Chains A and B, each alone.
Chain A
Amino acid sequence: MKNHIRWFIFIVLLSGFCLYVALPASVKGITPDDPICAEYKEDPSVDTKGVRCDEHIRLELNGDFTPEIDLAISQSLGLDLVGGLRVLLQADIDTATFDTETLRTAMGETANNINRRVNGLGLTEATVQLQGVDRVLVELPGVTDREQAVQTIQQTALLEFVDFAGLLNNAQSYEGQQILTTEQIALRSNRGEGENAADIFAGARNPNTNEPFQTILTGNALDRASAEYGASSASGIPSWYIVFSIKPEFVETFANFTASRVGQPMAIVLDGEVLSAPVINSALSDGGIITGNFDQDSSRQLALQLQSGALPIPLKVIGSSEVGATLGQVSVERSIRAGVVGVLVVLAFMLIYYRLPGVAANLALILFILLNLAIFKLLPVTLTLPAITGFLISIGTAVDGNVLIFERIKEELRAGKPLSIALDSGFDRAWTSIRDSNTSTLIICGILFLFGQTPGASIVSGFAVTLGIGLIVNLFTAVIATRTFLYLLVGVGQQAIEKRQWLLGIRGA
């Protein structure tokens, strides 16, 4: 009995904790939509003046006020529920010509640059993941402008400052044209495409030398780039342009070059296309501006891409999915409704069919639901529609353990054993069945989880994870929690129960 009371106290504390974790953020006075939270997201050290933007569990173990354990509590929802865009990109090169290590490094840099770009779009919830050696998966919750998003991600954005010396009056006529530069050739050969690839000759060469144009600096020399609006040219007509500054280590190169070419044109080239070809009026040192045919969106997009760096490897889209926000919202509402209805029916059934043990089972089922919801927030598990379904199905099968135990107890009682012995042997004898039968479904969950690691089948892993967690939690709630509840219920009113066996769901006693 003492043991059961100990377990009971533990279970009550656990339920309290889980309930607190599982409660929606809005109930707990957390307001992530507050304007100050946008600043907080950018920089967690901002003083939010008492507004709670997110939630953590912090455990201090050594008393120096620095949290040893810092768990963020938040329920992340999958793209199919919040709406948004998911894009799977693959290296658009012949990967066979690369050694794996080079490719891995280049793809890592590519993914980093993409990450900076999507963050720059203001999508803080976005995720960028390398998949395998040559793929990047980008998830952009809440994105509605697909065209801009895909372009921002996918464009190489190789910026070059190119020496146009000697072209003088012709320089302007190159604007909007493709030219061939030394940097492009280097990049191509790095990508394993070879200098003799047919399309490499598409760009114009320097007419004076018939050689590729000389690249002075590339975008990676830029320190900062931002879009601005105003009168940037002599004509005084306001337009969008980009202001950039040069990283300290490249300032000397840039300054020497501009100093030696005063009065000569210089081209600013993006992905082989001349954006503008201004004449250098005086030596520049640590920055300048880029003009071109920009509007607000394109100047901002380019500034962002320049700031994030060029992609070392070109990418093609091999898979994508887009879900409208309303559809996701409807899915969430429907799943909650289905879950509530299903759970109520199960609770009612267990109560009617098993009476007093049914009460214990129902308490255990509620604990099961709380525990699962808390685990989803703490791990965290991203809830998608299949994941919610897996959870609901695990609720449906969670009472299986209880049912096995109760049927055993009934049998023992019918065989004439006293209540306390019937309880003990009921739990003991049902255990192997519960363990073995849960294991078989857990094995399947493991296989499904591995299957879900294939990029095209990622939807499956959510289902496998929630169903699997449910099966494991169930081992605890169906056996230990139910046993505790049942023993306490029986302990409180043993005599009354023995007289009224209908309470245990046995007819004709």
Chain B
Amino acid sequence: MENNTVLTIVVLLVAVGILGYGIVTRKKTSLFELVQNRRLFFLISASVIVPGLIIMAYSTIVTGAPFRLSVDFVGGNIYDFTFTEVGVSEAILRDAFSQVGDDNVTIQSIGIATDNRWSVRGSFQSDETVQRILTNLETVSPIDREAFQQQSVSPTVGQEVARAAFFAVLVACFVVTMFIVLAFRQVPNAFRYGVCAVVAMLHDVLVVMGVTSLLGLLLGWEVDALFLTAVLTVVGFSVQDTIVLFDRIRENIPLHLGEPYETIVNRSIWETIHRSLATQLNAFFIMVAILLFGGETIQQFIFILLIGLLTGSYSSIFTAVPLLVSWQKGEIPFLEGDIHHELVPSEAL
């Protein structure tokens, strides 16, 4: 726990440092000129992503993986016991598991002490062994079988899920990129739009991964099949947002020939910001309702989704679009812009 406090402080300092540097050195223009202030927004993203990367690196050094992987991916057994009588302690649980040879278990008390509810994660055991564990514990206090929950995943099944997850991510990256390029095929520099949307998407994924890694270290949150679902859904929403915004830019270019690219883009952002806010708010209402009132097994999933929704809205406006402008203006190293002929009408069709 001591180490985690140090880590949290270091990470906060890094975040505040990057953010402060961004604010101090920002252009002295109106904040409403969103695109013109792009440097600041890139630094805001960095102030979240860089700490996230540090946390993941730290977690990899200390625990061997950037996240705590759940039994879904590595196999194992999890149990959720509610005892009807007092008397069960962590030591008794540990003992019950070591009696069947499972010495390396993680035990957590759930809720308040009088709930007598415990969550245990151990290695994969056969069904007979699970029976023996239950019988052993029943001698201490009866288990409320109506509130009992247990899941076993053999290492083989875990490996299959991990492999399928890997393929799902690969396929998602590929298909989404193809889709964006296809959706913008009639716009000049379609490839550019595609790349910017993908960068915004990666931005969101990195933010979510950083948050998950931190919560894994601090609260023991695990990455399971539902986590991957949340990340991919975030990707879908993120792209959805970016597409609406890009769509408006594509529409505004021929309408405002002669205006600087930055102005057109800025205008497009302000024109769609109502829509972005209204849409995000509605999704936000539903997610907060689920977070506050919904089933407890789904709450980590919803939290990740909520973080993703917020960063997804941010990245469409403050990452994808400013990036497009930077590219256009030739500010990105090794990538050629086309600032010099942005006013040529034929280019704008």
Q: Does B236 lie within 8 Å of A345, measured CB to CB?
A: no
Report which of A322, A392, A448 forms a contact with B149, defined as CB distance below 8 A: A322
Q: Write the nearest CB–CB distance from A136 to chain B, whole angstroms.
A: 13
Residue A57, interface by CB 8 Å: no
Report which of A396, A429, A463, A464 forms a contact with B286, defined as CB distance below 8 A: A396
Report which of A334, A395, A460 forms a contact with B229, defined as CB distance below 8 A: A460
Q: A331-B297, A342-B290 are in contact. Are A457 and B72 (CB under 8 A)?
A: yes
Q: Does A397 lie within 8 Å of B175, measured CB to CB?
A: no
Write out, one digit per residue, whether chain B residues 73-105 have a CB within 8 A of any chain A CB (1) or not (0): 000000010000000000000000000000000
Report which of A321, A331, A443, A454 forms a contact with B175, defined as CB distance below 8 A: A443
Please name the residue on chain A nearest to B183 by beta carbon: A436
Q: Write the nearest CB–CB distance from A354 to chain B, whole angstroms.
A: 8
Residue B6, interface by CB 8 Å: no
Report which of A320, A330, A454 forms a contact with B160, defined as CB distance below 8 A: A454
Residue A181, interface by CB 8 Å: no
Which of these binds chain A: B26-34, B151-159, B206-214? B151-159
Report which of A318, A324, A389, A395 forms a contact with B146, defined as CB distance below 8 A: A324
Residue A235, interface by CB 8 Å: no
Q: Does A334 lie within 8 Å of B295, measured CB to CB?
A: yes
Q: A147-B131, A319-B152, A403-B278 are in contact. Are A450 and B168 (CB under 8 A)?
A: yes
A362 to B160, CA, bound (A): 44
Residue A337, interface by CB 8 Å: yes
Please name the residue on chain B nearest to A350 by beta carbon: B282
Residue B147, interface by CB 8 Å: yes
Interface centre among A395, A397, A399, A445 (most CB of B within 10 A): A397
Q: Does B151 lie within 8 Å of A320, measured CB to CB?
A: yes
Q: Does B226 lie within 8 Å of A459, measured CB to CB?
A: yes
Q: Does A324 lie within 8 Å of B229, measured CB to CB?
A: no
Q: Does A346 lie within 8 Å of B160, measured CB to CB?
A: no
Q: Does A322 lie within 8 Å of B282, measured CB to CB?
A: no
Q: Write the nearest CB–CB distance from A62 to chain B, whole angstroms.
A: 45
Q: Does A407 lie within 8 Å of B274, measured CB to CB?
A: yes
Q: Does B175 lie within 8 Å of A322, measured CB to CB?
A: no
Q: Which residues of the partner chain A approach B334 to less than 8 Å between Cβ atoms?
A: none
Q: A437-B243, A456-B161 are in contact. Are A393 and B278 (CB under 8 A)?
A: no
Q: Does A321 lie within 8 Å of B244, measured CB to CB?
A: no
Q: Which residues of the partner chain A approach B257 to less than 8 Å between Cβ atoms?
A: none
Write out, one digit per residue, whether chain A residues 259-290 have a CB within 8 A of any chain B CB (1) or not (0): 00000000000000000000000000000000
Please name the residue on chain B nearest to A444 by beta carbon: B236
Residue B145, interface by CB 8 Å: yes
Q: Write the nearest CB–CB distance from A448 to chain B, whole angstroms.
A: 6
Residue B164, interface by CB 8 Å: yes
Residue B228, interface by CB 8 Å: yes
Which of these binds chain A: B59-67, B298-306, B324-332? B298-306
Q: Does A389 lie within 8 Å of B274, measured CB to CB?
A: no
Q: Does A395 lie within 8 Å of B286, measured CB to CB?
A: yes
Q: Which residues of the partner chain B approach A439 to less than 8 Å between Cβ atoms?
A: 179, 183
Q: Does A396 lie within 8 Å of B158, measured CB to CB?
A: no
Determine the interface band of chain B, counting residues with CB < 8 A from chain A. 35 or more
Q: Which residues of the partner chain A approach B236 to less than 8 Å between Cβ atoms?
A: 440-441, 443-445
Write out, one digit per residue, whether chain B residues 216-236 have a CB within 8 A of any chain A CB (1) or not (0): 000000000110110011011
Report which of B130, B146, B175, B226 forms a contact with A386, defined as CB distance below 8 A: B226
Q: Does A456 lie within 8 Å of B247, measured CB to CB?
A: no
Q: Does B127 lie within 8 Å of A150, measured CB to CB?
A: yes
Q: Write the nearest CB–CB distance from A508 to chain B, whole angstroms.
A: 15
Residue B43, interface by CB 8 Å: no
Residue B10, interface by CB 8 Å: no
Residue A339, interface by CB 8 Å: yes
A346 to B302, CA, bound (A): 18
Residue B165, interface by CB 8 Å: yes
A386 to B28, CA, bound (A): 48
Residue B13, interface by CB 8 Å: no
Interface centre among B225, B235, B292, B296 (most CB of A within 10 A): B225
Q: Write the nearest CB–CB distance from A153 to chain B, whole angstroms.
A: 10
Write out, one digit per residue, whether chain A residues 383-423 have a CB within 8 A of any chain B CB (1) or not (0): 00110010011011101100110010001000000000000
Report which of A326, A330, A404, A437 forms a contact with B295, defined as CB distance below 8 A: A330
Q: A389-B301, A407-B274 are in contact. Are A349 and B281 (CB under 8 A)?
A: yes
Residue A380, interface by CB 8 Å: no
Please name the residue on chain A nearest to B240 by beta carbon: A437
Write out, one digit per residue, whether chain A residues 313-332 have a CB within 8 A of any chain B CB (1) or not (0): 00011111111111100110
A–B Cβ pairs within 8 angstroms, 15 of them: A317-B152, A318-B156, A322-B151, A338-B295, A346-B282, A353-B278, A397-B279, A437-B241, A439-B179, A443-B236, A451-B229, A454-B161, A454-B164, A455-B157, A457-B225
Residues of chain B at the chain A interface (Cβ within 8 Å)? 72, 80, 126-127, 130-131, 144-154, 156-158, 160-161, 164-165, 167-168, 171-172, 175-176, 179-180, 183, 225-226, 228-229, 232-233, 235-237, 239-241, 243-244, 247-248, 251, 271-272, 274-275, 278-279, 281-290, 292-298, 301-302, 305
Q: A397-B282, A441-B236 are in contact. List 7 more A-B contacts (CB 8 A).
A: A326-B147, A346-B286, A400-B240, A437-B239, A444-B235, A456-B153, A463-B226
Residues of chain A at the chain B interface (Cβ within 8 Å)? 80, 83, 87-88, 90, 144, 146-147, 150, 154, 316-327, 330-331, 334-335, 337-339, 341-343, 345-346, 349-350, 353, 385-386, 389, 392-393, 395-397, 399-400, 403-404, 407, 411, 429, 432-433, 436-441, 443-445, 447-448, 450-451, 454-457, 459-460, 463-464, 467
The 9 tightest CB contacts between A and B, nearest first, are A396-B286, A342-B289, A444-B236, A441-B236, A396-B283, A338-B294, A331-B295, A456-B161, A318-B154
